[in-house]
Chains A and B, each alone.
Chain A
Amino acid sequence: DGGITQSPKYLFRKEGQNVTLSCEQNLNHDAMYWYRQDPGQGLRLIYYSQIVNDFQKGDIAEGYSVSREKKESFPLTVTSAQKNPTAFYLCASRDLGLQGGETQYFGPGTRLLVL
């Protein structure tokens, strides 16, 4: 069954703690993305990766880090430098369709809460 999986579904972070959110895809997509979603603000891009061992900062990268050691995996670390980490985090991967269009598919999300 092809798709994108994210774990855990819920994650609790203590003050000063780094936490890592997992994202795995078996769609053979080259590009992967991390978004943050806050109420009323839509989706904001944190980081993206077009190929293995390469990634780029998005619009709100401060306080986050990523790695892309394997094509199917793109973990996101929320560091202690991120002062307002409570949000819904979405991972996506990209399919360049036959028409040359841009289509991204999303995982089910991880909700991060601060204790």
Chain B
Amino acid sequence: GQQLNQSPQSMFIQEGEDVSMNCTSSSIFNTWLWYKQEPGEGPVLLIALYKAGELTSNGRLTAQFGITRKDSFLNISASIPSDVGIYFCAGPGSGGSNYKLTFGKGTLLTVNP
């Protein structure tokens, strides 16, 4: 089945630093989704990408859909303490059922004030 490799697994940064994380898949994706999950809460959609090469921003967050359609990255600029949480990438792939998502295992972000 499809696999998503998300890295890094965790990050410890100082407030104000920029953050970059990425996901790679074993097959082509036609959509990439990035979610943030805070402790004890459900994931919240941050950015959705629908076209190869697409670059989309949401405030201090920027995500890109890789040209090969097998990767995506998420950048956070000028991090603040409330950026703490687990960031997940996800995508449905282009083969098989288009109703299911495959998720990365997440990047745990810690921001030191």
- Report which A residues bind B (CB closer than 8 A): 4, 6, 31, 33, 40-43, 45, 48, 50, 58, 90, 92, 94, 97, 99-109, 111
Enumerate chain A residues within 8 angstroms of B104, measured Cβ to Cβ: 42
Is chain A's interface secondary structure helix, strand, loop, or mixed overall?
A: strand
1/0 contact trace for B70-93 toward A, CB 8 Å? 000000000000000000101110
Task: Choose from A42, A48, A92, A111 the contact partner of B88 (Cβ within 8 Å).
Answer: A42
A102 and B88 form a contact (CB under 8 A): no
B30 and A58 form a contact (CB under 8 A): no
A97 and B42 form a contact (CB under 8 A): no
With an 8 Å Cβ cutoff, the count of chain B residues facing the other chain is 25
1/0 contact trace for B18-53 toward A, CB 8 Å? 000000000000110101000011111100101100
B48 and A42 form a contact (CB under 8 A): no
B105 and A106 form a contact (CB under 8 A): no
Check: B100 CB closer than 8 A to any chain A CB: yes
Enumerate chain A residues within 8 angstroms of B101, measured Cβ to Cβ: 45, 102, 104
List 19 additional A-B contacts (Cβ < 8 Å) besides A94-B99, A97-B48, A97-B50: A6-B42, A42-B88, A43-B43, A43-B88, A48-B99, A48-B100, A58-B100, A99-B50, A101-B31, A101-B48, A101-B50, A102-B33, A102-B92, A104-B33, A104-B45, A105-B45, A106-B35, A108-B41, A109-B40
A31 and B41 form a contact (CB under 8 A): no
A107 and B42 form a contact (CB under 8 A): yes
Enumerate chain B residues within 8 angstroms of A31, measured Cβ to Cβ: 99
Check: B106 CB closer than 8 A to any chain A CB: yes
Check: B98 CB closer than 8 A to any chain A CB: yes
| Shortest beta-carbon distance from A5 to chain B in Å | 11
Most B-side CB within 10 Å, residue of A4, A48, A58, A99: A99
A102 and B45 form a contact (CB under 8 A): no
Across the interface, name the chain B residue whose C-beta is closest to A42: B105
Task: Choose from A92, A102, A106, A108 the contact partner of B31 (Cβ within 8 Å).
Answer: A102
Enumerate chain A residues within 8 angstroms of B92, measured Cβ to Cβ: 102
A99 to B50, CA, bound (A): 7
